[in-house]
């Protein structure tokens, strides 16, 4: 068998090349070169120009960083070298075969030509790019991302009246008719009006007598553009989506209108004008769909979380305004602050509330009932909007977190002077404070004073570093990822506590070391690099690692939302390709390396 045939068969078993047609695979194989590498041979080293993408067929390749620390140990079907190719830079890694190895090498020009010609391959490797450009074009989205899965359906013999009741109760404009032989047709409100009300059809007759038989349909891989064109050209408002003849979903004009109109600004506007928490809840109920849409259209993770957080901020300020309208003007100046993910502007599809109140020092005991009421009003309103109560009761409804400025100063002084475990935990949360509504000057001086005092207390900083290392990246002893061993999330990894939280903790440490003002994690890392607290190379690696982990988390949540499930932070690694698992593990290794540097006392520059 010719070599190209062997390569074709192998590539057909490797993602993303397995998505190519047979002819495309054969053409790709002819562009590749097979290389035999001896054990111990260096494939490329740090600083060397890389002109090829490598795909591992047999053997094992050790990838190490500039300091010789192992980043990954690659096995068959893993690709490598794309990092430098996508960056347009020399290699920042060294690749050495640890045993006799067979590689496929795809020249740089052909790699980029393949990326250009095959969007599926481009999307796959795009995860290695340091910057992902947003493609905010709804029209190019696959309908599978937009359609309503598992649409309302009934049997052909269902009475017309019963089908109408389904539409009325669910507030929908169509019902799909599915029989023993599969999808048969669709009944819409137009059919009901034209054929029953105006046409006089018997409401007790089978729905099949008024349905549109064999309506125009599309497959899940069609683009939203295809739906738009079909609706405009044929004058229809409903397009069933069939997958292999099976009814998979439906797209309606309402879906398109909602998707085009549903932006973060739209939801912010609706929340800002809401007359009650219940009104707000109707808008915040759409946050999950917005998140999925933002992810699908290629927005960077920090953009998505910022836009999602803006909605929570607006809800908080609107609830404060409604509370003041009900309770009267505040007796003294106050400031409402958020901490946790809202404080860092990093909210996703899974968020509880963490907040507090700082009161002016002129506040007296007589003012306490007013602020207790305003805290309850806002916290309960946020809960109505889907932001669950903090399980640790770190909310303004807790009297401890509703105090005059002088008390807050004493809190931070005490935590820094006596960094016991509780103090470390509380300081970690409260160092992420961000003003939301009220008199912001109440916080400005407190933040400056606290950062200065914390950075100058080496014992406190050491305790904070120790506390930050309690969350470990999910790395196994061998090449795999360490998954949860038992319980509801067995064989999954926690992308929050073992993924983004270790980076969040590192960012907080760099903030203390450099007395830096940013609260957002990515902004903290960039500020730490600018201040020299974090080295340029270490910072670049950590930013890339954080971007990949955070993006993977959001893509996981978006996929759950599209499937009609509630989003969570638990990912089954077996659902990822070899390439994705390898790069995710690489990202976790980078985080672990940076933790080790901070924990060993070498600091971020070591």
Q: Locate the DSSP E strands across 65-168.
A: 70-74, 79-80, 94-97, 101-107, 148-149, 153-154
CB 107 within 8 A of CB 186: no
User: What pLDDT band is residue 498 in, cutting at 50, 70 and 90?
Assistant: very high
Task: Say if residue 546's pLDDT is above 50.
Answer: yes
CATH number of 3-128, picked from 3.40.50.970, 3.40.50.720, 1.10.10.60, 2.60.120.10: 2.60.120.10
Model confidence pLDDT, tens digit, residues 17-46: 877 777 888 888 888 888 999 999 999 998
Q: Where do the CATH 2.60.120.10 domains begin and end in the chain?
A: 3-128
Q: What confidence tens digit (pLDDT) does each residue in 110-126 have? A: 888 888 777 767 767 76
Classify residue 482 by its DSSP letter.
P
Q: For the chain, where do the domains classified as CATH 3.30.460.10 start and end? A: 264-418+425-446
pLDDT of residue 3: 59
Does residue 434 register a pLDDT over 90? yes
Q: What does the pLDDT read at residue 127?
A: 53
User: pLDDT tens, 243-278?
Assistant: 878 899 999 988 777 666 567 777 888 899 999 999
Q: Is the pLDDT of residue 402 over 90?
A: yes
Q: Which CATH number fits domain 140-258: 3.30.70.1560, 3.20.20.70, 3.10.580.10, 2.70.150.10?
A: 3.10.580.10
User: Has residue 232 got a pLDDT over 80?
Assistant: no
Edge-to-edge strands, sheet with 42-44? 42-44, 94-97, 61-64, 70-74
CA distance 303 to 521: 13
CA 597 to chain centre: 28
* 131 — pLDDT class (breaks 50, 70, 90): very low
Q: What is the DSSP string of 559-595?
A: HHHHTT----SEE-GGGS-HHHHHHHHHHHHHHHHHH
Quick one: pLDDT band at residue 406, thresholds 50, 70, 90? very high
Cis peptide before 16 (omega within 30 of 0): yes
CATH code of the domain made up of 469-599? 1.20.120
Contacts of 7 (CB under 8 A, 6+ apart): 29, 32, 34, 104
Q: What is the pLDDT of residue 86?
A: 79
Q: Rounded to two decimals, what is the model's pTM?
A: 0.70
Dihedrals phi, psi of 461, to nearest 5 degrees: -60, -40
What's domain 264-418+425-446's architecture?
2-Layer Sandwich (3.30)
> Could you tell me the end-to-end alpha-carbon distance of the chain, in angstroms, rounded to an integer?
53
Ranges for all domains in the chain classified under CATH 1.20.120 = 469-599
Strands 52-58 and 402-404: unpaired
* CATH 3.10.580.10 placement within the chain: 140-258
Residue 556 contacts residue 571 (beta carbons within 8 Å): yes
- Mean pLDDT for the chain? 87
């Amino acid at each position: 068998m010719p070599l190209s045939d062997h390569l074709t068969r192998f590539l057909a078993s490797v993602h993303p090349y397995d998505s190519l047609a047979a002819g495309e695979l054969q053409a790709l194989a002819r562009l590749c070169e097979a290389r035999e590498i001896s054990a111990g041979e260096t494939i490329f080293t740090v600083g060397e120009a890389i002109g090829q993408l490598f795909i591992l067929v047999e053997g094992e390749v050790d990838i190490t960083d500039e300091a010789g620390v192992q980043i990954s140990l690659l096995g068959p079907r893993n690709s490598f070298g794309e990092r430098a190719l996508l960056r347009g830079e020399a290699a920042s890694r060294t690749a050495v075969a640890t045993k006799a190895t067979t590689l496929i090498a795809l020249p740089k020009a052909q790699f980029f030509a393949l990326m250009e010609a095959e969007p599926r391959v481009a999307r796959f490797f795009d995860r290695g790019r340091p910057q992902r450009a947003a493609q905010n074009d709804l029209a190019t989205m696959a309908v599978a991302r937009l359609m309503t899965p598992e649409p309302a359906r009934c049997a052909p013999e269902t009475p017309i009246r019963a089908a109408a009741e389904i539409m009325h109760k669910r507030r929908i404009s169509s019902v799909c008719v599915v029989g023993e032989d599969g999808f048969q047709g669709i009944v819409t409100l137009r059919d009901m009006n034209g054929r029953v009300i105006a046409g006089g059809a018997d409401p007790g007759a089978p729905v099949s007598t008024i349905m549109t038989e064999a309506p125009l349909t599309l497959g899940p891989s069609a683009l939203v553009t295809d739906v738009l064109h079909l609706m405009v050209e044929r004058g229809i408002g409903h397009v069933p989506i069939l997958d292999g003849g099976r009814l998979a979903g439906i797209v309606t004009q309402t879906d398109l209108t909602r998707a085009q109109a549903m932006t973060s600004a739209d939801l912010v506007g609706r929340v800002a004008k809401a007359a009650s928490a219940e009104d707000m809840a109707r808008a915040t109920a759409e946050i999950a769909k917005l998140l999925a849409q933002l992810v699908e259209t290629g927005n960077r993770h920090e953009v998505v979380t910022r836009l999602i957080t803006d909605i929570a901020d607006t809800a908080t300020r609107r609830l404060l305004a409604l509370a003041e309208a009900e309770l009267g003007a505040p007796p003294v100046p106050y400031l409402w602050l958020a901490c946790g993910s809202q404080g860092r502007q990093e909210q996703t599809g899974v968020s509880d509330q963490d907040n507090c109140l700082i009161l002016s020092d002129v506040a007296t005991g007589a003012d306490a009932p007013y602020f207790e009421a305003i805290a309850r009003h806002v916290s309960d309103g946020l809960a109505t909007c889907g932001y669950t109560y903090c399980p640790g009761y770190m909310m303004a409804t807790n009297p401890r977190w509703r105090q005059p400025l002088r008390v807050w100063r004493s809190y931070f002084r005490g935590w820094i002077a006596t960094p016991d475990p509780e103090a470390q935990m509380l300081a970690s949360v409260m160092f992420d404070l961000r003003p939301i509504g009220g008199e912001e000057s109440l916080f400005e001086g407190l933040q400056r004073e606290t950062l200065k005092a914390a950075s100058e207390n080496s014992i406190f900083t050491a305790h904070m570093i120790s506390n930050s290392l309690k969350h470990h990246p999910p790395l196994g002893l061998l090449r795999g990822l360490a998954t949860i061993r038992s319980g509801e999330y067995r064989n999954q990894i926690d992308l929050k506590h073992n993924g983004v939280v270790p980076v969040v903790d590192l960012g907080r440490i760099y903030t203390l070391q450099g007395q830096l003002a940013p609260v957002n994690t990515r902004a903290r890392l960039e500020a730490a690099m600018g201040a020299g607290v974090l080295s340029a190379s270490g910072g670049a690696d950590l930013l890339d690692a954080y971007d990949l982990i955070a993006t993977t988390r959001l893509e996981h949540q978006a996929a759950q939302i599209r499937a009609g499930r509630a989003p969570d932070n638990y990912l089954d690694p077996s659902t990822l390709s070899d390439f994705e698992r390898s790069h995710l593990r690489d990202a976790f290794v980078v985080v672990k390396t940076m933790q080790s540097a901070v924990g060993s006392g070498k600091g971020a520059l070591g």
